[in-house]
C-alpha cells in the first residue's frame, strides 16, 4: 500500500510538472502572440501615417482625416496620428474635431511651437467662421501666453491678430506686445509685428505723419543690413523674416522677393515664410489680375510652374494656402489654353498656338479635382468649373458626367470643404442647393451630348425645381426645343428671359435669345407677344419673390447688445423691445457699404417720423474717432454704434449685413451685401412694412 502511494505521489508530481510546462508554454506563446499583435498594430499605424500625410499634401483631406483617424483609434496617444487628424479636420473647417485633437497633441508635446501655432489658428478661425467669441478669446489669451514662450514664432502672431481683429481689440493687443517687448528686446519678429500694427492703425486713421515715421524707422533698420548677407541667407531665419516683411510693408517688391527667397533656404525659414500674408505677393497679384485672353499663356504657365517647383508641399512646412492659389491659377491658365487650342482652326489661329502651353486633358481634369479638394472654402465651384470646361470643349463628356454625379452626391451628403464655412445656415443651405442644381445641369447636358436623351431630362428638370434660375430654365428650354417640344420649350425660355442673367450679353443670354427666336418662329408668335409674355413672367416672379422675401422669417433670438454711439450715448437692445430695429453692420473700408450708405440715409429719413422703427448702423472699424470723422466728412447723420462683439453674436462674416429685428425681439430678416439702390431700398421697406403690418 505504501509502495502504491509512493507510486501515486510520483505520478502526481510528474503530472504537476507537465501541467506547469504546458502552462509555461501557453504563457510564452501568448506573450509571443501579444508581441506579434503589438508589432502588427505598430506597423499598421506606421503604414497609415505615410499615406495619410501624402493624401494631405495632395489636398485630399477627407482621405487624410480617415487614415489619421484609424491610426488615432488604434493608439489614442500616437502624436503623429493626433496631429495629422487635427490638421486634416482643420483644413476641412471641422473645428469640433480639430480643436480637441490639437489639445491632446499639444498636451503630449507642449514644447512644439508649430503645433501650438496650428492649434491657435484653429481656435481663431473656428471662432471667426462659427461666430464663437469664446474660441476667439481663447485664441487671444492662449496666443499671448504662447508668444511669451516663442516670441519669434511668426505664425502665432498671425492667428492672434486674426482673433483680436474680429474681437475689435487691435489696439489693446498692440499694447500687450509693447509690454512683452520689455522682456524680449532682441526679438526681430516681435519688433516687426509691433511696427506693422502701428503702421496699420496709422493708415486707418489716415495719419500721414505717423505712416512716414514708421516707414522711416523700417528703412533705417534695413539700411544697417548688408545686402550680400541677405542674398546668401547667412542671417538667422527670424531676422530674414523681419527683413522680408519690412520690404513688403514698404512696397519694395524686388527686395522683398530676394529676402523671401533667402528665407526659404531652411525648414525654420520656410515655416516663417508660410505665415507671411500672400507669399510672393507681387508675383501672385500680377498673375491674379492679368487678362488671360491677352496673356502669353505659355510664359504665364511656366512662371507658375517655376514657383510651384521651388516651393514643394512638405509635411514639415504647411504651404497649402500658397498651393491653392497657385494651382487654381495654373488650372485657369491651362483651361484658357485648352479653349484657345481647340478653337484654333484657321492658319492665323494656328500661329497663336505657339504661345500656348501643351494641354493634357486628363492631367487638367485631375488638376481641377485637386483644386476642388484643396480649396475647402469653395470646392464645389471648382467641380462645376472643371465639368463645365469639358462641356464647353465637347470633350471627355463621360468625365464631365462623372464629376457632376460625384459632386452632387457629396453636396447632398453635406460633405465639408465644398461650401464657404462662415455663412449662417440659410445662406449655406442656399449655396448647397445652387451648386447641386449647377451640377445637375452639367449632368443633363453631358447625357444629352452623349445621346442618352431618356436620362438627360430628369436632372435638368430637378435643377429647375430645386434652384430656378436663368441658367436652369434656359438649359431645359433648349433641351426641349431640340426635341421638338416647342410650346414647353418656349415657356421655359420665357422664364429664363424673365430672370437675371449672370452678366449682360453673356454667352448664356445669347444662347437663350437665339433659342427663343427659333421657338417664336415655329410657333408663329410675334415679337410683341414675346415681350408681353416676358413682362408678365417677370411680374409673376417678382410677386413670388416678394412673398418669399417677407414670408420666410428667421424667427431666431436676437442676441442682446449694449453699445455706445458716436455721441457717447449707450444703446441697449433690451430697451427697444416692441419696436422694429434695423441693425446694419458696416465698415469704412467696405466698398459696398459706401455705395449703400446714401440709400440707407434715405431709408432712415423716410421713417424719421415713425416711432416704431429704429435704425442702428454698427461700425466694425477699430477706431471710433476715425469713424466719427469719416461720417462728418460724408455728411451722414444716422445713428452709428461702435461694435464690440455683437458682429460675432450675429454671425457677421461680411459687410454690409443688415438684420431686421421684430417687435417680439426676434431676428426676422437678414440681408447680406448690396443688391443695387432700387432693389435694396424696395426689399428693406417690404421687410419693415411686413413687421409693422403684423
Question: With 70 as the cut, is the pLDDT of residue 109 above it?
Answer: yes
C-alpha cell at 254: 524686388
Give 222 or 596, the one with higher predicted confidence: 596
- On average, the pLDDT of the chain sits at 89
Average pLDDT over residues 83-104: 98
33-67 tens-digit pLDDT? 544 444 444 454 568 999 999 999 999 999 999 99
Specify burial of residue 427 (Cβ count, 10 A radius: 0-12, 13-18, 19+): middle
552-574 tens-digit pLDDT? 999 999 999 999 999 999 999 99
Question: With 80 as the cut, is the pLDDT of residue 402 above it?
Answer: yes
pLDDT score of 280: 66
Percent of the chain at pLDDT above 90? Answer: 70
Q: Using CA atoms of 478, 480, 481, 486 in order, give the dihedral in degrees to the nearest 10.
A: -130
CA distance 622 to 56: 37
Question: With 90 as the cut, is the pLDDT of residue 322 above it?
Answer: no
Model confidence at 321, pLDDT cuts 50, 70, 90, reads confident
C-alpha cell at 109: 508635446
Let me know: does 297 contact 333? Beta carbons within 8 Å. yes
Count of CB atoms within 10 A of residue 349's CB? 12
CA distance 434 to 463: 9
348-357 tens-digit pLDDT? 555 667 789 9
627-643 tens-digit pLDDT? 999 999 999 999 999 99
Let me know: does 295 contact 342? Beta carbons within 8 Å. no
Let me know: does 581 contact 604? Beta carbons within 8 Å. no
Give 668 or 273, the one with higher predicted confidence: 668
Closest CA to 667 of 481, 447, 425: 425
Q: What is the distance between the terminal CA atoms of the chain, rounded to a whole angstrom?
A: 111
Average pLDDT over residues 581-601: 94
Count of CB atoms within 10 A of residue 649's CB? 15
pLDDT score of 39: 45
Closest CA to 86 of 378, 382, 318: 318
Average pLDDT over residues 601-619: 96
pLDDT score of 157: 93
pLDDT score of 284: 75
Specify burial of residue 8 (Cβ count, 10 A radius: 0-12, 13-18, 19+): exposed
Question: With 70 as the cut, is the pLDDT of residue 486 above it?
Answer: yes
Question: With 70 as the cut, is the pLDDT of residue 270 above it?
Answer: yes
For the residues of 629-678, what is the DSSP string, one character each? HHHHHHT--S-EEE-SSHHHHTT--SSSEEEEE-TTSEEEEEEES---HH
Average pLDDT over residues 307-319: 87
CA distance 444 to 456: 4
For the residues of 47-67, what is the DSSP string, one character each? HHHHHHHHHHHTT-HHHHHHH
Q: With DSSP H G I counted as helix, E B as strand and the rest as coil, what are the percentages for the chain, rounded to 5?
A: 70, 5, 25
Residue 240 CB contacts under 8 Å (≥ 6 apart), including other chains: 230, 233, 259, 262, 263, 269, 272
pLDDT score of 610: 94
Question: With 80 as the cut, is the pLDDT of residue 281 above it?
Answer: no
According to DSSP, residue 295 is labeled S
Question: With 90 as the cut, is the pLDDT of residue 347 above it?
Answer: no
Amino acid at each position: 500500500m505504501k509502495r502504491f502511494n509512493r507510486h501515486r505521489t510520483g505520478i502526481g508530481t510528474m503530472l504537476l510538472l507537465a501541467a506547469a510546462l504546458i502552462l509555461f508554454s501557453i504563457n510564452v506563446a501568448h506573450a509571443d502572440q501579444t508581441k506579434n499583435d503589438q508589432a502588427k498594430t505598430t506597423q499598421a499605424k506606421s503604414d497609415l501615417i505615410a499615406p495619410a500625410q501624402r493624401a494631405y499634401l495632395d489636398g485630399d483631406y477627407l482621405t487624410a482625416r480617415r487614415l489619421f483617424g484609424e491610426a488615432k483609434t488604434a493608439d489614442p496617444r500616437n502624436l503623429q496620428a493626433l496631429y495629422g487628424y487635427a490638421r486634416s479636420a482643420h483644413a476641412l473647417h471641422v473645428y469640433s474635431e480639430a480643436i480637441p485633437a490639437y489639445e491632446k497633441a499639444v498636451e503630449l508635446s507642449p514644447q512644439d511651437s508649430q503645433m501650438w501655432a496650428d492649434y491657435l489658428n484653429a481656435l481663431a478661425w473656428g471662432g471667426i467662421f462659427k461666430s464663437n467669441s469664446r474660441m476667439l478669446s481663447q485664441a487671444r489669451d492662449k496666443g499671448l501666453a504662447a508668444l511669451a514662450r516663442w516670441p519669434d514664432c511668426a505664425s502665432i502672431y498671425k492667428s492672434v491678430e486674426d482673433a483680436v481683429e474680429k474681437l475689435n481689440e487691435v489696439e489693446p493687443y498692440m499694447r500687450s506686445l509693447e509690454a512683452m517687448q520689455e522682456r524680449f528686446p532682441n526679438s526681430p519678429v516681435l519688433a516687426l509685428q509691433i511696427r506693422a500694427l502701428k503702421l496699420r492703425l496709422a493708415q486707418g486713421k489716415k495719419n500721414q505723419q505717423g505712416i512716414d515715421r514708421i516707414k522711416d524707422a523700417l528703412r533705417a533698420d534695413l539700411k544697417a543690413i548688408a545686402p550680400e548677407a541677405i542674398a546668401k541667407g547667412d542671417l538667422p531665419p527670424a531676422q530674414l523674416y523681419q527683413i522680408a516683411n519690412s520690404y513688403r510693408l514698404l512696397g519694395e517688391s524686388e527686395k522683398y522677393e530676394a529676402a523671401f527667397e533667402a528665407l526659404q533656404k531652411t525648414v525654420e525659414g520656410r515655416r516663417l515664410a508660410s505665415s507671411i500674408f500672400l507669399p510672393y505677393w507681387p508675383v501672385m497679384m500680377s498673375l491674379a489680375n492679368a487678362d488671360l485672353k491677352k496673356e502669353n499663356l505659355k510664359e504665364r504657365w511656366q512662371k507658375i510652374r517655376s514657383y510651384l517647383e521651388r516651393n514643394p508641399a512638405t509635411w514639415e512646412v504647411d504651404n497649402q494656402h500658397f498651393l491653392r492659389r497657385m494651382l487654381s491659377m495654373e488650372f485657369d491658365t491651362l483651361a484658357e489654353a485648352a479653349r484657345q487650342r481647340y478653337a484654333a482652326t484657321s492658319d492665323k489661329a494656328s500661329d497663336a498656338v505657339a504661345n500656348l502651353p501643351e494641354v493634357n486633358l486628363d492631367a487638367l481634369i485631375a488638376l481641377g479635382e485637386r483644386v476642388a479638394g484643396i480649396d475647402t472654402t469653395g470646392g464645389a465651384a471648382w467641380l462645376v468649373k472643371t465639368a463645365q470646361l469639358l462641356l464647353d470643349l465637347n470633350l471627355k463628356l463621360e468625365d464631365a458626367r462623372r464629376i457632376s454625379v460625384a459632386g452632387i452626391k457629396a453636396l447632398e451628403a453635406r460633405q465639408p470643404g465644398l461650401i464657404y464655412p462662415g455663412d449662417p445656415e440659410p445662406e449655406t443651405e442656399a449655396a448647397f442647393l445652387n451648386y447641386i442644381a449647377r451640377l445637375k445641369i452639367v449632368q443633363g447636358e453631358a447625357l444629352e451630348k452623349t445621346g442618352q436623351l431618356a436620362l438627360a431630362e430628369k436632372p435638368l428638370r430637378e435643377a429647375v425645381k430645386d434652384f430656378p434660375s436663368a441658367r436652369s430654365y434656359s438649359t431645359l428650354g433648349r433641351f426641349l426645343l431640340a426635341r421638338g417640344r416647342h410650346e414647353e420649350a418656349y415657356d421655359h425660355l420665357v422664364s429664363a428671359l424673365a430672370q437675371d442673367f449672370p452678366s449682360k450679353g453673356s454667352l448664356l443670354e445669347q444662347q437663350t435669345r437665339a433659342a427663343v427666336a427659333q421657338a417664336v418662329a415655329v410657333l408663329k408668335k410675334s415679337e410683341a407677344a414675346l415681350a408681353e409674355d416676358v413682362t408678365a413672367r417677370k411680374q409673376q416672379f417678382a410677386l413670388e419673390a416678394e412673398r418669399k422675401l417677407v414670408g420666410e422669417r428667421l424667427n431666431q433670438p436676437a442676441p442682446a447688445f449694449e453699445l455706445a454711439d458716436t455721441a457717447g450715448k449707450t444703446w441697449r437692445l433690451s430697451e427697444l423691445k416692441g419696436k422694429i430695429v434695423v441693425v446694419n453692420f458696416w465698415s469704412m473700408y467696405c466698398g459696398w457699404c459706401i455705395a449703400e450708405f446714401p440709400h440707407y440715409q434715405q431709408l432712415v429719413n423716410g421713417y424719421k417720423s415713425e416711432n416704431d422703427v429704429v435704425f442702428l448702423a454698427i461700425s466694425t472699424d477699430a477706431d471710433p474717432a476715425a469713424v466719427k470723422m469719416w461720417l462728418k466728412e460724408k455728411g451722414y447723420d444716422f445713428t452709428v454704434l461702435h461694435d464690440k462683439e455683437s458682429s460675432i453674436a450675429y454671425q457677421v462674416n461680411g459687410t454690409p449685413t443688415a438684420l431686421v429685428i421684430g417687435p417680439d425681439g426676434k431676428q426676422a430678416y437678414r440681408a447680406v451685401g448690396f443688391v443695387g439702390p432700387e432693389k435694396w431700398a424696395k426689399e428693406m421697406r417690404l421687410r419693415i412694412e411686413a413687421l409693422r403690418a403684423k
